[in-house]
Structure 1
Amino acid sequence: MARRPASVRARTTLGATAVVAVALVAAGLAVVLLLRSNLGGQADLKAEVAAREVASQLAAGTPFAALDLPDGEDRPVQVVDEEGRVRAASEDLLRIHGTGSPGVRPGRPPSGDDDGGDDDDPARGEVSGGDPEFSTGRATVDDRTADYRFAAVEVTTPRDETVTVYAGADLAAARDAVGTAVRAMLAGLPPLLAVVAGVTWLVTRRALRPVEAVRAELAEITSSGDLARRVPVPEARDEIAGLAATTNATLAALEESVARQRGFVADASHELRSPIASLRTQLEVAAAHPELLDVGGLVEDVLRLQRLAADLLLLARIDAGDRPPARPVTLGGLVREELERRAAGDRITVQASIEADPRVMGVPGRLSRVVGNLLDNAQRHARSAVRLSVGEEAGTAVVRVADDGPGVPPADHERIFERFVRLDDARSRDEGGAGLGLAIARDLVLAHGGDLAVREAPGGGALFEVRLPAV
């Protein structure tokens, strides 16, 4: 099996050359056929003119012996009566159709009806006005044998004698012209295809030069690991420029993702170091002084470490594209279950207002985590009240969680959803957590096709609003 050319330039050049070759062959064939048809028509016309000239002489009463017949090899003429006798012929005409006798006509003369009548013959002293009959044959004129195109014209003399005039036109010139045209086309086809191939090769190389520049730069970026570099974008606003721009956008997103991952690893290491160091200190103290062992503190640090590890694992799954199967969930029922589960441990009682029970497609456990994280954040910052409402607006399920705490400055409305971010009044790890709750809540909401935003509550404080597409 033949291997395809590996180079795009080679395949493009071969394809373009093949297309041009097929087009040229088809066009050349059409030209040759048209030329041959035209030359054949001209031969028919010459033969008919010669035949009608002789027929006109006979119609005018010129005797057979006194006919002015064309001379030369290109227009042989023969006059045959209805009995097949040759009444006149060109001086140098020796043979027709190679039969060896000048009396053999180039084809059978037009015959009358089956009963021998002459109803179709021209009137006395007239030439047949219909189209002549044409035939192709061979004739020998002055020892030169060639192919001719013959025209047969009937004429009735004034003496009421009907004869057929056969006049031929030489086909050698027409065939030579066709052969010359074919040879010229065959001779010009290879150079023309070579020019097409060369031009296509050069144009393709110029067109693919930006692609090679992009490939080379990507190879350098891969080998160096420097994601801050970008591939060159051509000045021409074409598909290659679009490819380069998309590649740069992909590199920018990859750079941001890698930077985010590195920051995440660094922040996670920093957050894990604190409870681990606390556990180690307490264990070392307990080993030296068992009576000073603070079991409650150890349990609290272990729980904190467990929650942090669980949050980090959940974020890793979200980043990896983990999407458990979704199913219809009644949002009002899910919120009621979450409130019942946490009622005993709440620092501030949640004032719930479930105005509707919209259905959404999602993962119940993860949606419960969203509500729980928002309530944890509200109770951490609230002074005396936490309010929660569930409703539906224009086909969208809406969950709002508000507190009467200090609120979130407008400049931090987006930053608060970043990982490991704690605002100034929540810097304490004991009170402010690890800064992952809101980040996890937004990532989970976005994974469900919704949105999570924060703004100022009507009575002061922060208002977090979750919007999910309702079923």
Structure 2
Amino acid sequence: MLRSVRARTTAGATVVVAGALIAIGLAVVLLLRSSLDERTDLEAEVTAREVAAQLANGTQPARLDLPDADEHPVQVVDASGRVRAADDDLRAIAGAGVRPAPRAPAAAEEDDDDDDEAPPRGQVSTRVEHATGTATVEDQTAEYRFAIVQVSTPSGETFNVYAGTSLATTREAVGTVARAMLVGLPVLLVVVAGVTWLVTRRALRPVEAIRAELAAITSSGDLTRRVPEPRSRDEVANLAVTTNATLAALEESAERQRGFVADASHELRSPIASLRTQLEVAAAHPELLDLDGAVDDVVRLQHLAADLLLLARLDAGDRPAPAEARPVELADLVRDEAFRRNAVANGVEFDLSVRASPRVAGPRGRMERVLGNLLDNAQRHAEHVGLITLDEADGHAVLEVADDGPGVPAAERERVFERFVRLDDARGRDEGGAGLGLAIARDLVRAQGGTLTLGAAPGGGARFVVRVPVCGTTGSGQAGNR
């Protein structure tokens, strides 16, 4: 069984070449045989017409100049079927349809166009017949190709002239070519198979190198290694480039996962240690139990665990169920969240400007989480006022959340979206934050096919811009403040 690509390629190429060579060989032999047969017929016809021309000129059959019987056996048959002229060495002609010559037509019928009649007096018929038969010359019988030509003498006597050309040369030439092809075909197929095997082996050598390196990377777990890239610009080189790109992505993902696990462990260690300390103190001195602090630590752990679980689901490519993916009215969501925030006295007032009512794909809980995280960040860093703007442009819902806080330096605006990253100012002012809110918001927006960017607000604070594809609009909203 042909298991390897090299063996299947070699076998396929050999079979295809064999079929092509056999077809070509048969065509060549048939064409050669046809060409030689035409040449043989022409030689026999020329010989027959030369003899017939002598008779048409009035030469008596006994005085005809006949060619050598070894090359062209010739005999002349009259209307009664009697042989009137033949070479002395010619013994007999058989199988060529020897028959009597037709009777000469009467004078009144000399213009008759009937092909069965003899030609007019002193003329050679334009018709010629060919037949294959044998001729015995000096006790040696051989196969010949005969031409039969009719002729009428000036005296009105008619004859059939039979002239033959040996088929031995034709048969020998065709046989020689056929034998040469039969001998050369296997040799050529062996050469084709060998060359295909070597070329395929050379072509697949980079693939084997890639496979071996991938096996070594798998066994060692070292994602920093890369497979060799051939210098050629072919499909194998493209495979190596793509494989290295995949390894680079895997390495980055693994590094990110390790960093995520390390950061998560660090963030979980503090509340767990604090909660354990409180519980141990309470076990020894119940009167010293700080119940509110313990509850705060448990809530912090609960939020952190929920955030970590959500990030893990997003990294795994989690997609909402069809039942949860119903369109979300962003205008209603923004109004409800702004009203809820403003209803709580927290020192920051949110102004709302709704300029359109776009609808985006659900689930609603994810968009609530995005808006909630952005408002939490604005509320944490704003001095007095935050601004929420909702609009629609170029088929996207555009949600902006800005504050009047100190803002974020341009060099740090991408870092704030990294997981567990908290700037120095945020670390000093954040109470219990793990640095996951903005990272979760961006991952949720990207899962919706949108973008989340950070820039500077007109008042100098931070301005977050969310762009998410819409799935239809329900109308225009009125600008307003709340």
8 Å Cα contact 2:326/2:363 also seen in 1:
yes
Counterpart code for 1:77? V
Shift of 1:108: 5.0
Query: Residue 339 of structure 1: CA displacement?
Result: 3.2
Provide the C-alpha distance between the structure 2 equivalents of 1:112 and 1:387, rounded to a whole number of angstroms.
Answer: 125
Structure 1 counterpart of 2:237: 241
Structure 2 counterparts to residues 76-87 of structure 1, below 5 A: 76-87=73-84
2:122 counterpart of 1:125: yes
Q: Decide whether the 8 Å contact of 2:101 with 2:158 is kept in 1.
A: no
Q: Secondary structure at the match of 1:427?
A: helix
Residue 74 of structure 1 deviates from its aligned partner by: 3.2
CA distance in 2, matches of 1:126, 1:319: 103
Answering whether residue 135 of structure 2 is matched by residue 152 of structure 1, we say no
1:338 and 2:329 correspond: no
Q: Could you say if the C-alpha distance between residues 309 and 428 of structure 1 is closer, same or farther in structure 2, counting changes exceeding 3 Å?
A: farther
Deviation for aligned residue 1:72: 2.7
Instruction: State the secondary structure of the residue aligned to 1:314.
Output: helix
Superposed, which structure 2 residues align to 1:220-235 within 5 Å? 220-235=216-231
Deviation per CA, 1:295-339, whole angstroms, max 9, x where unpaired?
211111111110100000000100111101333222212222333
Q: Does 1:416 align with 2:416?
A: yes
Letter in 2 for 1:319: D
User: Is the 1:64–1:87 contact (alpha carbons within 8 Å) kept by the matching residues of 2?
Assistant: yes
The residue type equivalent to 2:400 in the other structure is R
Mapping of 1:376-387 within 5 angstroms? Answer: 376-387=376-387
1:429–1:238 Cα change, 3 Å: farther
Change (3 A) 1:195 1:33: same
Q: Which moved more, 1:283-292 or 1:216-225?
A: 283-292
- Per-residue deviation, 1:343: 4.5
Contact 1:106 1:150 in 2 (8 A): no
Q: How far off its partner does 1:413 sit?
A: 1.5
Task: Provide the identity percentage.
Answer: 69
Residue identity in the other structure for 2:326: R
Letter in structure 2 aligned against 1:22: G
Which residue pairs with 1:202 in the alignment?
198
5 Å matches for 1:99-118? 106-108=97-99
Q: Corresponding residue for 1:389?
A: 389
Query: CA–CA distance in 2 between the matches of 1:187 and 1:277?
Result: 89
Q: Return the letter of the residue paired with 1:140.
A: T
Q: 34-43 or 295-304, which moves further after superposition?
A: 295-304
Q: 1:158 to 1:214 in 2, by over 3 A?
A: same
Q: Out of 240, 258, 268, which is 1:262 matched to? A: 258
**What residue is the counterpart of 1:40 in the other structure?**
37
State the alpha-carbon separation in 1 of the partners of residues 146 and 341 from structure 2: 113
Tell me the amino acid that sits aligned with residue 24 of structure 1.
L
- Distance between the aligned counterparts of 1:298 and 1:27, measured in 2? 92
Distance 1:296 1:209 in 2: 69
Does structure 1 retain, via aligned residues, the 8 Å contact 2:300–2:432?
A: no
Of stretches 22-31 and 140-149 in structure 1, the one that deviates more from structure 2 is 140-149
Question: Aligned letter for 2:125?
Answer: S
- Work out the CA distance in 2 between the residues paired with 1:332 and 1:181: 89
1:11-410 counterparts in 2 under 5 A? 11-97=8-94, 106-108=97-99, 119=112, 120=114, 121-130=118-127, 132-324=128-320, 325=322, 326-345=325-344, 347=346, 348-410=348-410
Q: Output the CA distance in 1 between the equivalents of 2:55 and 2:345.
A: 131
Residue ranges of structure 2 left out of the alignment (5+ in a row): 472-482
CA distance in 2, matches of 1:311, 1:165: 112
Q: Is the partner of 2:327 in helix, strand or coil?
A: strand
Is the CA contact (8 Å cut-off) linking 2:90 and 2:137 kept in structure 1?
A: yes
SS in 2 for 1:470: strand
Q: Offset of 1:84 from its aligned partner?
A: 2.8
Does structure 2 retain, via aligned residues, the 8 Å contact 1:107–1:135?
no
- Structure 1 residue runs of 5 or longer lacking an equivalent are 99-104
State how many pairs are aligned.
461
CA distance in 1, matches of 2:189, 2:327: 66
C-alpha change, 1:267 and 1:346, in structure 2 (3 Å) is farther
Deviations 1:2-46 (A, max 9, x none): x3x122211111122222212211211111111101110110011
Mapped partners of 1:112, 1:375: distance in 2: 124
CA distance in 2, matches of 1:417, 1:111: 113
What TM-score, normalized to structure 1?
0.93
Structure 1: distance between partners of 2:123 and 2:432: 124
**Distance in 2 separating the partners of 1:180 and 1:464:** 89
Q: Secondary structure at the match of 1:260?
A: helix
Return the alpha-carbon distance in structure 2 between the equivalents of residues 10 and 232 of structure 1.
25
TM-score when normalising by structure 2: 0.91
Distance 1:126-1:428 versus aligned 2 partners, 3 A rule: same
Secondary structure, in 3 states, of the residue corresponding to 1:242?
helix
**What is the RMSD computed on CA atoms of the aligned residues?**
2.2
> How far is 1:401 from its partner?
0.4
Deviation at 1:125, TM superposition (A): 1.1
Distance 1:317 1:425, change over 3 A: same
Structure 1 counterpart of 2:3: 6
**Which has the higher mean CA deviation after the structures are superposed, 12-21 or 425-434?**
425-434
